[in-house]
């Protein structure tokens, strides 16, 4: 970095150059500087000639260096926005991704009771459960995850979001290996973004995926093992004509549809993500 204290404009220019390998270098630079300065994006444009303090410049340099090495921006910031909710994130869970909002949208369009009982499996940050909670205040939502750290993280996010959205549905976070520790119930909807990546997928060694837990990404049987387990076991936990909605790989829709048919589900439908790739499939237990 240039000797001396940089202005905001100079700091952003330097960071963009350092992160030029990324297709989001402009946004990354802004978000990291906003974190250091504890300011809104508008401040960066309003005061471009404002010089950073020494400790701010050092902190910014360290963040940009970490990002250059590949650390996800969400981990550096400590949060990620999902469904307009600011959620705490860390290395114990997947970083919520925009395409998963398609799963939330799809669930909201299903024919469910006004006071539906809903179960989210593999909740991670709690993103899906919380998005549903703010949209459907009368639902009763249980969110489960196998990892102790993820359960603790989800509970912190639940506490934060529900403090800001007093009308949101209550979300209970429990620790469970899929259904193993859950009491048999009659859920109207079971929703999940389970592991669905093949173990030999080259993307696992690229980008942000390098910093996320493999247990939340990879599944046996060509990425379908956990999906099949959920589809099969959900039969014991669904109410009459209850729904299952799952996120899956862009090339897995036909296999997921067939799994639903194999286990006696109907009204099967697949929805595309924002990139027009098959991403979500739901079905109703007949």
Which architecture characterizes domain 82-285 according to CATH? Answer: 3-Layer(aba) Sandwich (3.40)
Beta strands in 103-237 (DSSP E): 117-121, 140-145, 171-175, 187-192
User: How are beta strands 140-145 and 187-192 bridged, if at all?
Assistant: unpaired
pLDDT at 6 over 60: yes
Domain 8-69 identical in fold to domain 82-285: no
Dmax over Cα atoms in the chain, in whole Å? Answer: 69
CATH code for the part of the protein at 8-69: 1.10.8.10
Burial class for 22, CB neighbours closer than 10 Å (0-12, 13-18, 19+): middle
CA distances (Å), 279 to each of 60, 142, 184, in order? Answer: 36, 23, 29
Q: Which range, 70-79, 90-99, 158-167, has the best average confidence (pLDDT)?
A: 158-167
Burial class for 49, CB neighbours closer than 10 Å (0-12, 13-18, 19+): exposed
Phi first, then psi, for residue 21 (nearest 5°) are -70, -20
Domain boundaries, the chain: 8-69, 82-285
Tens digit of each residue's pLDDT (9 = 90 or more) over 96-152: 888 999 999 999 999 999 999 999 999 999 999 999 999 999 999 999 999 999 999
């Amino acid at each position: 970095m240039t000797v001396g204290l940089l202005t905001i404009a100079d700091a952003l220019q330097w960071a963009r150059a350092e992160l030029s390998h990324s297709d989001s270098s402009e946004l990354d630079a802004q978000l990291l500087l906003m974190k250091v300065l504890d300011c809104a994006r508008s401040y960066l444009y309003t005061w471009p000639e404002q010089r950073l303090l020494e400790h701010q410049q050092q902190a910014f340099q360290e963040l940009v260096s970490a990002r250059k090495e590949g650390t996800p921006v969400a981990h550096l910031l400590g949060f990620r926005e999902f469904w307009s909710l600011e959620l705490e994130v860390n290395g114990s869970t997947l970083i919520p991704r925009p395409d998963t909002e398609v799963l939330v949208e799809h669930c909201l369009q299903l024919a469910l009771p006004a006071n539906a009982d809903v179960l989210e499996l593999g909740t991670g940050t709690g993103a899906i459960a919380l998005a549903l909670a703010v949209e459907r205040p009368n639902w009763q939502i249980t969110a489960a995850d196998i990892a102790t750290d993820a359960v603790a993280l989800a509970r912190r996010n639940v506490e934060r979001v529900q403090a800001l959205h007093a009308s949101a549905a209550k979300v209970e976070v429990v620790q469970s290996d899929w259904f193993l520790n859950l009491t048999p119930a009659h859920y109207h909807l079971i929703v999940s973004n389970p592991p669905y990546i093949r173990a030999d997928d080259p993307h696992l060694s690229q980008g942000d995926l390098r910093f996320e837990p493999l247990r939340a990404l990879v599944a046996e049987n060509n990425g379908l093992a956990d999906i099949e387990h959920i589809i099969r076991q959900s039969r014991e936990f669904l109410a009459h004509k209850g729904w299952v909605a799952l996120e899956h790989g862009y090339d897995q829709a036909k296999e997921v549809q067939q799994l639903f048919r194999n286990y006696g589900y109907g009204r099967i439908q697949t929805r595309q993500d924002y990139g027009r790739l098959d991403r979500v499939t739901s079905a109703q237990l007949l």
